[in-house]
Structure formats: structure tokens, C-alpha cells
Structure 1
Amino acid sequence: MNIDNEFKHNKAYLMRYRKIHTKIDRLKDKLNRLNERYDLKGVSYSSEPSSSVKKTLDDVLAQKEYLENKLDEMVSESIDIRNEITEKLLDLDNQLEATVLDFYFLEQYSLNDIADELSYSDRQIERLYVDGIMSVECR
């Protein structure tokens, strides 16, 4: 595997945690909107449609149950991914690279925020980021 492909492969491996958390956040927002719309606003669940599509209490409860179950699955998967990535980062020889990758991929900091947090230059953090990604063994 050439250097560019290895970098892309390793980065995709590490990005899995950020991607699943984006999905989790979206589903949480959807569940919150559903709760606000049907629990907090006291919508009337009459048999009369208020629009062209009738939404029954059973539909709302089924959708809520589905979202909650899906969230539970995704949270469990994200924990497994986080633990797997944490183990890979612990295996790195350079723990400063591991720290940068941890902040970026697991804590979801930007590279600029990491530079500020660690009191390094942006360029130094970028170098540690790239070198760290290349050092991760994720085959």
C-alpha cells in the first residue's frame, strides 16, 4: 500500500468514531423534536386528521421506540469503536501524537483548538496529526 493510500485508510479507520457520533447527535435531535412535538405541546390525538397525513399515537410511539432502540445500538457500537481506537493510540510510540489524535478523533477538537490546548503551533500539531495517523496500525 502506498503512503497516500495508507494515510487515507488509517484516517478513515480513526474517523469512524466521529462519524458515528454525528449520526447519534442527529438521532438525538430527531428524538428531542419528536418528544417536544408530541409530549410537551399536548397534541390532540383525535381520529380527525389535521393535515393530509394522519399521525396516530401508535405511529408516534412506534417511531419513538425505534429511535430509542437505534440510539442504544449506535451508542454501544460507538463505545466499542472508542475502546478499539484508544487501544491503538496506546500502542503508539509517540504519546504526543496519540494525544493529538485522541483530541481530534475522540474528543472532536479542531486542530487549531488542539494547538491552543497543548500550547503548540498549528504547524507542529498538523505534523503530529499526520505522523500519528501514519503510525497507527489498523489493518
Structure 2
Amino acid sequence: MTQQEIDLFDRMKLYGGPGRNRGNIIGFYPSDEFLRILTIEYNAEFASVFTMGINTHYLWVGTIDSILLPSAVNGNHEILIKHTHPKGTAQPSCFDIDWLFKAQKEGSPQTKSLILPIGKDRVSFNINTPYL
């Protein structure tokens, strides 16, 4: 992990963990390793999201099997760079596909995203990927 990631992880632990179903500005692009460590520590999905137009990185936190993400905020498209699957599922869920489809329908340029299943290699998906 980078020093930024270590510092953020330490702050989360100090304050009792992350809030659920919310995004936090982190100001850097998180590594796969960092998101997986957070997922294992807090047994929740974590997502790296980039907001176009304001060029900001967010860390979103969900629950064990879901994460609520906006597809656009104030006219700026959200780009779901990657997210974890705590249970190790290597396929996208119907919600993953629906989110990407909705984002594209609203004008997002995003055509694919990544899943970081715990214990497995990262997986790319798009709106045509078979889902669970």
C-alpha cells in the first residue's frame, strides 16, 4: 500500500471504520490491494469512483453484497473504476450491469468497469457480460 492508503486505513480504524452507503473524497487513485484489504477488514464492498468534470476520486462503501452509487451528480458523470466483491463472486451482478447501462443511457462515456473478487484475479465487465 502507498503511504496515502496506509494513512487513510489508519484513520478509518481510529474512527471506528467507514460509514456505509456513502462516498468519501480521497484525492488519489486507490490500488486493488488497498480496496481488497478494506473489504476484508470491514466485510463490505468498496468502490473506486471518479467524478468527471470535477476530477475527484471517491471511495464508496457499501454492505456485504451491495453498494449504492449515483451515476451522475450535478451533471457530472460518475465513473465506476472498480469495486470489490467480498464473497469472491467473479461475475457482475444484475445491479452492476444495470448501473453501467443507466450511466451510458445518461451520456456517460464509460463502457466497462472492473470487479475485484476477494481471492481471485480482477475481472472486466460491460453491459453484455453474463451476470448472476
Per the normalisation by structure 2, the TM-score is 0.22
Per the normalisation by structure 1, the TM-score is 0.22
Higher relative contact order (CA 8 A, sep 6+): 1
Flag the structure with larger Rg.
Answer: 1
Between structures 1 and 2, the one with greater helix share = 1
